[in-house]
A = this chain, B = another copy of it.
Amino acid sequence: MIVKKTYKDQVIDHIYQLILTDELQPGDQVKESLLAVQMGISRAPIREALKELMTIGLVEYRPQIGNFIPILTPKQIIDSYTTRGVLEGYAVMIAGEMFSAEDLAQLDRYVDEMGTAARAGQHKEVVDIGGDFHDFLAAHTDNLQLLEYTNRLSLKLHVLFYKHWGLLYKPDEIEQRHRAIVDSIRSRDKAGIEQVIRAHYVETGTKIATVQAARSETAA
């Protein structure tokens, strides 16, 4: 196992956990001094970590005021998913011929597992396999610039909305939607690939936005 060397990396992991466990909620300020005391280190590595999280979009920086967990409006959520769809759609379209028969078989396996887990009500597995599926897709591009942005968005959306994903899919639907992506790749229909992936993310984003809006409604 790889040991984290610098405090900065530990801080990043720690903040991930705080967000995933709702100890840090959207709108909360991430106070450097407080974290420093809690972790028994100085503020310097905390600031380093916050800058990195800023790059991804997991914290929002306001000069002279501090770092905050972003409150995303429904539109912003949809926009972020849409952007990911645009990037992944292009990446997969360009990589179209790069997907070998084995790759397609692997994708089919992902979809099978996803469907099985979904019907068994194993939400966490469904989300994890879905993540693997899309990472597998994006990783087939040789455009590293595009991959960098795709990964940043993927990570941001994953951390911020992981807890909602279990609520919003219907087992058969999620399997069918991902199967459609694999089929479009198999058909080598470039324009089709791009459209299917874009549509997938727009729909996912719309659902997440709805769920999230409903939550803040009940919370208020």
Contacts and interface: CB of A to CB of B under 8 A. Distances in A.
B63 A146 contact: no
Contact of A143 (B63, B79, B144): B79
B145 A83 contact: yes
This chain: how many copies in the complex?
Answer: 2
Contacts of A51: 48, 51-52, 54-55
Given A6-B63, A54-B55, A144 B76 contact: yes
19 contacts: A5-B63, A47-B48, A48-B51, A51-B54, A55-B55, A79-B143, A79-B145, A79-B146, A82-B143, A82-B145, A82-B146, A83-B87, A83-B143, A83-B145, A83-B146, A83-B149, A86-B86, A86-B146, A145-B153
A52, A79, A80 pick with most chain B CB within 10 angstroms: A79
A195 to B, nearest CB: 10
A5, A52, A64, A86 pick with most chain B CB within 10 angstroms: A86
Q: Is the interface of A mostly helix, strand, loop or mixed?
A: helix
A211 B75 CA distance: 41
A125 B134 CA distance: 43
Given A5-B64, A83-B149, 14 more contacts: A6-B64, A48-B51, A51-B55, A54-B55, A79-B143, A80-B145, A82-B146, A83-B87, A83-B145, A83-B146, A86-B90, A87-B87, A145-B153, A149-B149
Given A63-B6, A86-B87, A87-B86, A76 B149 contact: no
A51 B144 CA distance: 20
A156 B13 CA distance: 29
Given A86-B86, A90-B86, A76 B6 contact: no
